[in-house]
Amino acid sequence: MKRIFFSIALFTLFFSCSEDEVTAVPETEEEEERREPGTFSVIAHDATFTATFGDLPYRVSYPAEKQGETFVLIVSRGGNGAGDDRGQLVSYINHFVEQGYVVVQVDHRNAGNDIENIAKLRGAEINELSKAIEEGTLDYGGFQGEITGSKQGYMGHSAGAMEGLLASGMNTDHGNYRASAVKAVYAMSPPGYTPDQYGIAQSPNGYTAIGETAVFMIIGEQEKDTNGSGTINAENWRLQGYDQMNESGLRYQVLVKGDNTDHEAIAGLNEAVKFYNEANSLALFDTFVRGLDRKAEIGTLNQPMTNELEIKVKGNQ
């Protein structure tokens, strides 16, 4: 039987549109069977925006029947940028869109084998993408609703988690890429800083610069000491950031213990963890982006029966 522990402390751009507008990539039959039906069907629209650093392809997934106000969530995978980022983490995208959100993904620029360069490229990408959403200049295809761009959410895995932390204001030696419109970040498998891979500032530590943005981090016991390729970095490497974070905003850290908790399991290969991520990221975004009163639910929903959770919470309650 799982056990759950809580530790609570006191607390310009120009855009060119492609002609592709299709139904979203389907999930597997098993995923569809286990999912509660959402309110809206999912349509995907591919386009390209020209930022200060060049063209960046992106995909908008939107709720076809949605009318009135809604908000944008940005979803980003890990990796070094291979031009195939759109259409990844599909189950999360479909889940959010079915609940009325618009989701944006970009095809990240290729950083090669330079890990720190991943942070540099993604920092610039998330900063400019978020501004485009905030300023209302992004093309959403056939979406008929109303986008409020001043409040956005972000979900990412691995290097995508690092990207979200950059958007929340984490300092690096190569700059600060804070996107002020991003109000909440759900970070799956975030990086540590000793040893450092992404150029995270050390003195003071880059994590201390994160301000009011709500941050939820989830880490697997089998990946907590290693980087994405499985190389051991340090004991509890992925747990380092939480302790450095201030209490200006709400902070969560969830350690998933037991079997099937490696790097890819936390992203979704562990089905129970995936459904935990879906439910609790939605509660996070509903609270800090949509403005609903769901704060008490965050971290408590769809708890996996096969794994023990160690949950820490601190910050502005």
Up-side HSE of residue 43: CA atoms within 13 Å toward CB? 15
Q: Residue ranges per domain, the chain?
A: 15-212+227-247
> Does the predicted TM-score (pTM) go above 0.75?
yes
**Quick check: 189 pLDDT over 70?**
yes
* HSE-up of residue 198 (Cα within 13 Å, Cβ side): 31
pLDDT of residue 38: 60
Reported as a single tens digit per residue, the pLDDT across 1-42 is 444 444 444 333 333 333 344 444 444 444 444 444 568 999
Domain 15-212+227-247 annotated CATH 3.40.50: yes
Task: Residue 214: name the closest of 150, 297, 289, 119 by CA.
Answer: 289
Q: What is the DSSP string of 130-164?
A: HHHHHHT-S--TT--SEEEEEEEEEEEETHHHHHH
Distance in angstroms (rounded) separating the CA atoms of residues 167 and 117: 16
Q: How far apart are CA 261 and CA 159, in angstroms?
A: 18
Contact between 229 and 193 (Cβ < 8 Å): no
**pLDDT score of 79 more than 80:** no
Q: How many CB atoms lie within 10 A of CB 79?
A: 18
Diameter of the chain by CA atoms?
54
| Interacting residues of 114 by C-beta distance below 8 A, sequence separation 6+ | none
Q: What is the pLDDT of residues 262-289, one digit of tens each?
A: 999 999 999 999 999 999 999 999 999 9
Q: What is the pLDDT of residue 26?
A: 45
The one-character DSSP state at 244 is: H
